[in-house]
Amino acid sequence: MRLFLVVFLWLLGTSAGAQGLFRMDSAQDGRGWEAVGRIEIAGTSFCTGALIGPRLVVTAAHCLFDPETGARVPVDQMQFLAGWRNGRAAAYRRVRKAVPHPAFAYGHEADADRVRHDLALIELQHPIRNTTITPFDTDIGPEQGDAVGVVSYAHDRSEAPSLQETCPVLAHQDGMLVLSCTVDFGASGSPVFRLGPDGRPRIVSVVSSKAQANGAPVALATRLQGPLDDLRDALSADRDPGAGLDRLAAGARRDTGAKFVRP
C-alpha cells in the first residue's frame, strides 16, 4: 500500500489529541523507564532521548540544529536530563560530543531520505552509573504489522514522560517507518520499543517527525539498523564534518512513493 504523507519536519505538528497515552507522573509509574530523558537545547527547546550505554544517548539528528539558522547547536548548550519528572531528573549530564548521521542534511527537502537518516548519538561528559537508570539494549526491526511502543515528552506534557504501549507499524519505506503512535512537539528523538525474547523493551527505532497518511495522524521514525552502526563508527573515529557548528551538505534524493510538502 502506498501512503501519501504530508510531513511537518522540525519539532512536529500539533496533535489532535494524546489518545492511548499513559502519563508517568510518579516514580512508581516511571519505574524501568528512567533511561529516557529530556535533551535541553540552548535553553529554548527540548527533544527526547534515551540511554543506550552509560554515556551514549540516541536521539533525532535534527535536534542538533538551530531551526532559525540551520547551524549546529554547540554541545556546551545541551544537557541530558535522565528520567526528568516534575522539575527533577534522576541524573543530569552535560554533553561532550553530539554527532548526526553523516548522510543527514538539515536543510534538505523533507522526504523519506531525510527521515531515514534522522538519527544522532550524543556522548555525555560523564557516564551515568546509577542502579535505578539502566541503559536500553537495541535491536533490529521492526517490520510492517509489528506492535511497538513509544516513551516521549511533548510540549503539553513536558514535565513527565508518557508511554504509549501499543501502536502498529503501518508501513516500511526504504528505512523510514510509518507508525500509528501519537507524537507532538518535543517528541523528536523518542525511543520506539519492541519487547525482546526476555520480555524487556529494546529500542528499534527513533521518532523523527509527525505526518498524515490517508487523512490520519502518524509518526515517522528512523530504523536503527544500519544508521546506528554508521554513527558508532563516526563517533569512535571522531568523524563529524559539522564540528558542532556547521550546516551539513545536502544528500541525494530518493523516490520512495511518498508525497511530501513543507509546512
- Give the pLDDT score at 82: 97
Is the Cβ–Cβ distance between 219 and 182 less than 8 Å?
Answer: yes
Q: Is residue 244 one of the residues assigned to a domain? A: no
Question: What is the tens place of the pLDDT at every residue in 228-254?
Answer: 999 999 998 876 644 443 332 223 333
Q: Is residue 258 one of the residues assigned to a domain? A: no
Return the CATH number at 228: 2.40.10.10
Compute the distance between CA of residue 198 and CA of residue 185 in angstroms, rounded to an integer.
Answer: 33
Q: Is residue 62 one of the residues assigned to a domain? A: yes
Q: Is residue 26 one of the residues assigned to a domain? A: yes
Q: Is residue 256 one of the residues assigned to a domain? A: no
Q: Is residue 198 one of the residues assigned to a domain? A: yes
Q: Between the CA of residue 51 and those of 27, 36, 46, 57, 245, what are the distances in Å?
A: 18, 7, 16, 4, 24
- Arithmetic mean of pLDDT over the chain: 82
pTM check: above 0.85 = no
Domain of 136? 5-236
Q: State the Cα torsion 7-21-118-134 to the nearest 10°.
A: 180
Domain count, the chain: 1
Q: Is residue 140 one of the residues assigned to a domain? A: yes
Quick one: what percent of the chain has pLDDT higher than 70? 83
Question: What is the tens place of the pLDDT at every residue in 190-199?
Answer: 999 998 888 8
Question: What is the tens place of the pLDDT at every residue in 1-56?
Answer: 334 444 433 333 333 333 477 888 888 888 899 999 999 998 888 999 999 999 99
Q: How confident is the model at residue 81 (pLDDT cuts 50, 70, 90)?
A: very high
